[in-house]
Structure 1
Amino acid sequence: MDARHARYPFLDGAREAVQRADVALVDLVNRERDHPAVTRGRERVERALVAGTVASEDPRVDARTEVLSYPIARVVVSLLDAPGAVEKYAASEAATAHERFVEDLERGGQSRLGGGDPDVSLDAFLREFGLAGSVRSVDGDYRVDVGEYLELAPEGESWRLVRRELGDGAVTVTRSELYDLLRQAVENRVADGLPLAVPDEIADPLAPVAESVSATLSSADYPRSFDRVDPDSFPPCIAALLDRAQAGEELPHRSRFALVSFLATVGMDAAAITALCGRSDEQFTYTAERLASDESGAGTYPSPSCATTQAWGDCVNRDDLCATIDHPLSYYAARLEGAEPGGEGDTGETAD
């Protein structure tokens, strides 16, 4: 297990390194429940769900601990049984990986890994995700076969095929946009198979770890109770997501979660959420019903923080108030204090 595996534990090489080391996860968690890899796995999930990153706050974590923390984190997030947990975790793993491989690839593999590691190259990443035959460099840009492009392209107007140069079955993208496609490939791989069907011999010793993560999430410091729903007081990020939903855009699951969890926490039930968003499709309705199951809003899964929203690329149109808060719900509370009830855009609803 080396630094490359530690930075990118979702790679096939990292999994093979764990297998070569003959590490049995069930033995590890049963033998030493406070093993550094278990501790780091818990931190990995907590940071993913609260801060939008899986990077450790301790720079001294060794490569072996970092690699082993990844499968443990996948088990822990599977044990949470919380709406949106898998999506939020996978998006945060991908956001951290994106930050790292942009650093590594733009510096020719010369960053924290040291030396020109041939396994930390654009070609290596393309091979990892089965894209080597689907991506070609042309005059400083890249041509991506349309099938792979459609599979990996983020949602958004600029990514629509009609807005792209298309020829000979391939779409032209910039290097930065190719990195965005790789980020989605990472997210897809991390999310694949989650939530896991965890056997009792692993679930039982890790249940307290999952409970600790749940306690951390429930104690997050942001407002949870509001006396009314006023869309004019929504923070810019939520307003933008709402506009996209109302326009009929298919939001990425992480963005859909951010929007719906916010609306549920401010006091809207599933019917009100789907009505406000103008959506009745099955996927959107299911998300609303899952996240707004508690009419009080107290039991809903935490709405993403500003740090998470920024990591996911949904932080837009920041204003002066954004600079003073760290959570969209705090923004909303501040705006409500200065807004007149019944103002333009007020739905007239109250939150119990």
Structure 2
Amino acid sequence: MERLHARYPFLDASRAAVEAAGIDLAELVAAGGPAVERGHERVERALMDGTTAAEEPRLWSVRAELLSYPIARVLVSLLDVPGAIEKYAAAEAATARERFVEDFEADLELKSAGGERLTLDRLLADFDLSGRVEAIGDGRFGLDVTAYLELAAALEEPQWRLARRPLSDGTVPVGRPALYTLLREAVGRRVRDGLPLPVPAEIEEPLSAELASLRRSIADIDPPMSFETVTPGLFPPCMRALLSRARDDGGLGRLTDHSRFSLVSFLLATGLDAEGVIALCDVPESDRGSVRAQIDRLADEDGPVAAPPSCVVMDEYGDCVNADDTCETIRHPLSYYETELRQTPDDRVTDWRRQSETR
């Protein structure tokens, strides 16, 4: 096990290092110890802070850091909270981006660190992108158009649309920062792959204390989950933008999975039911069945079972747009909505549900 494996546990070589060590996951979690503690921290920081980096890195050995990754994947699978997997994967990807940018920039400056740093060529090879991404000079890269479309598929901002990009001989040129963002997307997709995991009882039971702790942490940071009024004009900019896209671009079905989850879970938290979400989003008749099915998964008879993604995760999704002064003071879209409702005079707050009933 090497430091590189611990920094990038999603790499093929990192997984191979775990397999070569002959680690029995059931025995590892039953014994407890540093790997389990770090795995718990990994998930908690992902859900609360949008990062999986350790608060005190020196506390953890290379072995504990590397083995915390499969344990974190088990924990987030067992957590069974809507959006938790998406938040966790986004946090792993964001942390990986910070690390590989640091490594790549050091490589550009010819700072030697032996095999401790990840190189761009090695990361590209790990994701089967060798030959599909080529340096073309001046800090720019040419991506095979198919590779570009695969990597940019979940990026909804207009600048990522192929129509906005120059295309020559099947190649899309991008700058270094854009390439790093596309590679972050590749990491996130790999982390999400296979989740949630099927977890046998002999692994689940020893992790009961860690799961209970994670659920308490989520409960502690969850913003208010019920409101007396639904006033779209007071929604945070990110949710107004998603709502506008859902209405204008052919319905909720045209949003990416994470954007649709963010919007629907937010609307449920404001107090709308399934029919209210469908009406507000102007969902076409042909899509209403699938929307109702998603809402059934997100809500129970007591209302939403989890908050929509935090501001950190919305930013990683690319859905944090048009941030205003209120955005600077909050960490969650629902907190924004609560703040706006509290600060707006009652005579200027109109419940959308009452308006829709009079139409």
> Would the TM-score normalized by the shorter structure come out above 0.5?
yes
Secondary structure of 1:86's aligned partner:
helix
Larger % of helix: which? 2
Match of 1:95 in 2: 94
Q: Tell me how far 1:246 sits from its aligned partner.
A: 2.4
Q: Tell me how far 1:217 sits from its aligned partner.
A: 1.0
Q: Tell me how far 1:177 sits from its aligned partner.
A: 1.3
Map 1:243-282; keep pairs closer than 5 Å. Answer: 243-248=244-249, 250-280=254-284, 281=287
Q: Tell me how far 1:221 sits from its aligned partner.
A: 4.9
Secondary structure of 2:172's aligned partner:
strand
Letter in 1 for 2:177: S
CA-to-aligned-CA distance 1:212-246 (integer Å, 9 cap, x gap): 21222122252222111111111122222222322
Match of 2:229 in 1: 228
Distance change in 2, residues 1:345/1:232 (3 Å): farther
Contact 1:91/1:254 (8 A) holds in 2: no
Map 1:210-221; keep pairs closer than 5 Å. Answer: 210-221=211-222
Identity of aligned residues (%): 50
Q: Tell me how far 1:349 sits from its aligned partner.
A: 5.6
TM-score w.r.t. the length of structure 2 is 0.87
Letter in 1 for 2:198: A
CA-to-aligned-CA distance 1:177-200 (integer Å, 9 cap, x gap): 111111111111111111111122
Contact 1:229/1:349 (8 A) holds in 2: no
Letter in 2 for 1:307: V
Map 1:165-314; keep pairs closer than 5 Å. Answer: 165-248=166-249, 250-280=254-284, 281=287, 285-291=292-298, 293-294=299-300, 296-297=302-303, 299-314=304-319
Q: Matches of 1:300 and 1:176 in 2, distance apart?
A: 37
Q: Matches of 1:176 and 1:283 in 2, distance apart?
A: 37
CA-to-aligned-CA distance 1:33-90 (integer Å, 9 cap, x gap): 3x11111111111221222111121222222111100000111111122222222211
Contact 2:42/2:72 (8 A) holds in 1: yes
Distance change in 2, residues 1:109/1:97 (3 Å): farther
Q: Tell me how far 1:286 sits from its aligned partner.
A: 4.0
Distance change in 2, residues 1:344/1:266 (3 Å): closer
Secondary structure of 1:172's aligned partner:
strand
Match of 1:333 in 2: 338
Contact 1:165/1:171 (8 A) holds in 2: yes
Distance change in 2, residues 1:148/1:283 (3 Å): farther
Q: Tell me how far 1:318 sits from its aligned partner.
A: 2.1
Distance change in 2, residues 1:272/1:89 (3 Å): same
Letter in 2 for 1:98: R
Match of 1:15 in 2: 15
Secondary structure of 2:305's aligned partner:
coil
Q: Tell me how far 1:283 sits from its aligned partner.
A: 6.1
Distance change in 2, residues 1:49/1:110 (3 Å): farther
Letter in 1 for 2:18: V
Distance change in 2, residues 1:92/1:296 (3 Å): same
Q: Matches of 1:51 and 1:255 in 2, distance apart?
A: 19
Q: Matches of 1:344 and 1:157 in 2, distance apart?
A: 32
Q: Matches of 1:91 and 1:25 in 2, distance apart?
A: 24
Q: Matches of 2:323 and 2:329 in 1, distance apart?
A: 11
**Structure 1 residues without counterparts, runs of 5 or longer:** none
Please state if 1:47 is matched with 2:45. Answer: yes
Please state if 1:107 is matched with 2:137. Answer: no
Map 1:93-172; keep pairs closer than 5 Å. Answer: 93-108=92-107, 115=113, 117=115, 120-140=118-138, 141-153=140-152, 154-172=155-173
Match of 1:77 in 2: 76
CA-to-aligned-CA distance 1:113-165 (integer Å, 9 cap, x gap): 97154861111110010000211122332221122211110223222222221
Secondary structure of 1:309's aligned partner:
helix
Secondary structure of 1:107's aligned partner:
helix
Distance change in 2, residues 1:286/1:93 (3 Å): farther
Q: Compare 254-263 and 304-313 and name the one that shifted more.
A: 304-313
Please state if 1:347 is matched with 2:352. Answer: yes
| RMSD of aligned residue pairs (Cα, Å) | 2.5
Q: Tell me how far 1:20 sits from its aligned partner.
A: 2.2
TM-score w.r.t. the length of structure 1 is 0.89
Letter in 2 for 1:105: F
Secondary structure of 1:142's aligned partner:
strand
Letter in 2 for 1:288: I
**Structure 2 residues without counterparts, runs of 5 or longer:** none
Count of aligned pairs between the two proteins: 345
Contact 1:87/1:253 (8 A) holds in 2: no
Q: Tell me how far 1:95 sits from its aligned partner.
A: 1.4
